[in-house]
Amino acid sequence: MPVGTSSAAVNLAAALEPAQLELARGPLHVDLPGEVRARVARCREFVREMSGSGRAIYGVTTGFGPLVEFAGRADGAAQSDNTIIHHIVGHGELMPPAVARAAVLARLFSLARGRSGVSEHVVTALIAVLGTEFAPAVPRLGSVGASGDLQPLAYVAHALRGNGNAYFQGQLMPAADALGRAGLRELELDGRDALALVNGISVTAAALGLAVAQAKRSHRIAELLSALMTDVLGCGQEFTSAGLLAAFGHPDVAETGAALRTWLAGSAPSGERPLQEAYSIRCTPQLIGAAGTSVRHAEDVVRRDLNGVSDNPLFFPESGEVVHGGNFFGQPSAFAADQLNVALVQLGNLAERQLDLLVDPHRTGGLPPMLSPLPGQHHALQGVQLCTTATVAAMRRAATPASVQSLPTNLHNQDVVPFGTQAAFTALDQVGLLRYLHAGLAIGLRQAVHVGARRPRAPRLAEVFDRIAAEVPPIAEDRPLDTELRRAAVLLDTIASEVEGER
């Protein structure tokens, strides 16, 4: 019996949602219905029939990539070795265990569609892995995202065979030891099994799906913090007008306006602010709404990736076809990830500018500089602002599109490539940086009330403010804030998840 149990569950007969990838961070139960098992077995039998027919089948009877014109190894285990071992050349930092496990879940759903021709025991082995705290150790750098995520998925298969390294309960160790501690057996593969495991975009889909899940929370957090800032400063609320935003013609902008109005219900302007606020307040519906459009598009794309089949070739027993093609070419996710990255950077720009406004006495109506109770003796938000500036700069530098960086490789077999894997990991990095920016702004708003801004008048915002205040005491004297920033980020994620559940 594999070590590790969990109440979290997914079903291979249902669609996999991007948010469900987060369930794979811990032990996950995966249901394998009879109809799924049957279609996997039927496709596998069809592969056996075709393999004995004398027909050339890529990766089964041939070499790989540009070496397809040469015969592969006759022995199935040796062909499996060929598939995996020549890709064990990745480098860079290891992806977090939660990401590697999400990639296993994504690959499992693709293989369970019954078009890849894998052995049934491969599917059941991946299910067993997800039921434990085992995670392959996978370097981030090595995939061009063109023939799927060959190198990172090869590391997944390598670890499942007991080679290389893996994590168990968060501890890095030799993969064979990790399998043993998890109560798992080393996975045996033939050539078709191995190619089906590595020849898809499941790492890209996992990284992008996890980024999307966090981006959805960050989008709601941006709405919340913008509303809280509006209330704390006593700003006018005309910019949230339903008629105004409907006239703009963008549904997601109108939705953000509605969210702001919901948060601000019960509040009233102080009457002491300018007729028109700075754009970091007045244009929040347009900015946050547009970001929401990009998040929604990325979610749609990655949902299709998670529930599609991206390896090569594909097998269609019902029509007797073996079809060679390029479903492993991750261009949709590359474009979507790059677009998401741009939206995340602009949300970061907004949070940084909002904090800058908040610490400037000339724009807050006289709150002390840096929101310090004793300017000069204590510096309050000064260090936080410096770090937010550095963080925004890092986000901007990382937002260069990956999807246009095509470089020919692989003897010009892969003469155009999408680099979706790199784009997806950039998105995953960006959402982590945006969490810091939002946490800094939340602490700034909490401190603003401490040094003289009004307490939120809207009941829902007052409740949120009290939760933030309970997590982060006022800065009466300078102190390290790094731990409190992390706690604030976790709290904001929790609140955003509660809000998302209401909608």
Q: Quick one: which of 271, 252, 270 has its CA closest to 260?
A: 252
Q: Quick one: which of 173, 140, 177, 170 has its CA closest to 155?
A: 140
CA atoms within 13 A on the CB side of 233: 31
Rounded Cα distance between 223 and 278, Å, is 16
Contact 192, 72 (CB under 8 A): no
- What's the sign of the alpha-carbon dihedral 311, 317, 318, 323? positive
Q: Which residues of 60-93 are buried (b: 16+ CB within 10 A; e: fewer)?
A: bbbbbbeebeeebeeebeebbbbbbeebeebeee
Burial of 186 (0-12, 13-18, 19+ CB in 10 A): middle
Annotated active-site residue 58? The verdict is yes
Q: Quick one: which of 401, 404, 415 has its CA closest to 326?
A: 415
The partner residues of 134 in beta bridges, in order of sequence, read 168
Decide: helix, strand or coil at residue 145: coil
CA atoms within 13 A on the CB side of 226: 35
Decide: helix, strand or coil at residue 134: strand
Rounded Cα distance between 424 and 37, Å, is 31
Q: Which residues are catalytic?
A: 58
